[in-house]
Amino acid sequence: MNRTKLSILTALAITPATLNAQPETATLLTSSGQVEITAELDRSIANGLHFLATTQSDDGSWEGGRFGKNVAITSLACLAMMGDGNTASRGPYSDQIMRGLDFVLESTKENGLIASQANNGPMYGHGFATLFLGEIYGMTPGGGDTALSTRIHEALVKAIRLIEQTQNEEGGWRYNPVPYDADVSVTICQIMALRSARNAGIEVSSDTIDRAVEYVHSAQNADGGFRYQTSAGSSAWPRSAAGVASLYYAGIYNDDSIDRGLDYLMSTALPGTTTASRSHYFYGQYYAVQSMFLAGDERWATWWPAIRGELIRTQLSDGAWEDRSAGKTYGTAMALIILQMPKRYLPIFQK
């Protein structure tokens, strides 16, 4: 099959029935025999989760510094808690997740757009919020709380239809929910949302995915990195990580573009061995660790201990991580999602 015609409708073997099941145990060793989950890592995660739990607002949201109350940061904080095995109905952080879910659902507009009053590029927030809804819907048994499942399902379907309707002619998405422009950064947010929803049993257009794949391919440079938009531009490691991840989540696993993108990341952004720019650090590592996890073998065995050690070393005394642009909540949520990759609790991270 032509690589551009591979879509999540045909490339995935995941079925909705598998999504409520938790992994039996976390895999503790990489392919090279390295320990993935250490006591030091567990302590770091516990401190980070405690920071998030104590900084949630009364309305269930989390604030993102200058971005205010934000559906993207709220969704990421909830995903960070779900990454430790919590859901809206069980676990020590179930109450925080439920309150965050209420905030996201209350922020869903009639046309499907998920946006709070504090918007900075609403399609960013919409993509992360839709991903959160897809993950929590996949982890919410229909019989446990049918009213809640129905409410999530309705919001999720509307959100997915909005994504499908706002894809531009090139196959990508940009800041606003209109099909005029596109960039790699916003596009990956929508692809992950579509993948999560499809995993949870929501119908997703195969044409939408195929066109998104074409867009991402067209944004790759000769050095293996990805530019911001399809027009001429230089490569940068954070958006290159997003480019590789977007191809994986579109259902493509064996592709020269992925191999060249992974090589670019290994040479420009491997923690501790390069002088990679710190701009968009958490964003870039969020996608890079997912890409390396999906690549597996030596790439994962090399990247995982490097990013794990770097994040543990840079954690602040209050349990948080500071992002220079979006603040502590965003940095902490992203760092926790990265550090909990080996636990494989979130459906989208289960191979």
Average pLDDT per run of 10 along the chain, which is 351 residues long? 39 38 46 80 98 96 78 96 95 97 96 83 94 92 71 96 97 95 96 96 96 97 96 93 97 96 97 80 97 96 97 98 91 98 91 65
* Residue-level pLDDT at 117: 73
Q: What is the CATH number of the domain that holds 329?
A: 1.50.10.20
Average pLDDT value over all residues in the chain: 88
Residue 337 belongs to domain spanning: 3-349
Q: How many CB atoms lie within 10 A of CB 221?
A: 17
* Residue-level pLDDT at 119: 62
The runs of H, that is alpha helices, within the chain are 8-11, 39-54, 71-82, 94-106, 122-138, 146-165, 184-199, 206-218, 237-249, 256-268, 281-295, 297-314, 328-339
Q: How far apart are the first and last CA of the chain?
A: 22
* Residue-level pLDDT at 147: 86
In the numeric block, which tokens belong to residue 194? 């579509």
The runs of H, that is alpha helices, within 94-226 are 94-106, 122-138, 146-165, 184-199, 206-218
* Residue-level pLDDT at 261: 98
Q: How many CB atoms lie within 10 A of CB 313?
A: 10
Instruction: Count CA atoms closer than 13 A to 205's CA, side-chain side.
Output: 17
* Residue-level pLDDT at 351: 65
Q: How many CB atoms lie within 10 A of CB 211?
A: 18
In the numeric block, which tokens belong to residue 95? 């109450």
In the numeric block, which tokens belong to residue 219? 């944004």
Q: Which residues pair with 63 in a beta bridge?
A: 69
* Residue-level pLDDT at 291: 97
* Residue-level pLDDT at 326: 86
**How is residue 62 annotated by DSSP?**
-
Q: What total number of domains does the chain contain?
A: 1
In the numeric block, which tokens belong to residue 310? 């770097």
Nearest CA to 52 out of 310, 321, 289, 287 is that of 321
pTM here is 0.90
Q: How many CB atoms lie within 10 A of CB 141?
A: 13
**How is residue 69 annotated by DSSP?**
B
Residues present in the chain in total = 351
Helix (H, G, I), strand (E, B) or coil at 18: helix
Separation between Cα atoms, residue 126 and residue 75, nearest integer Å:
10
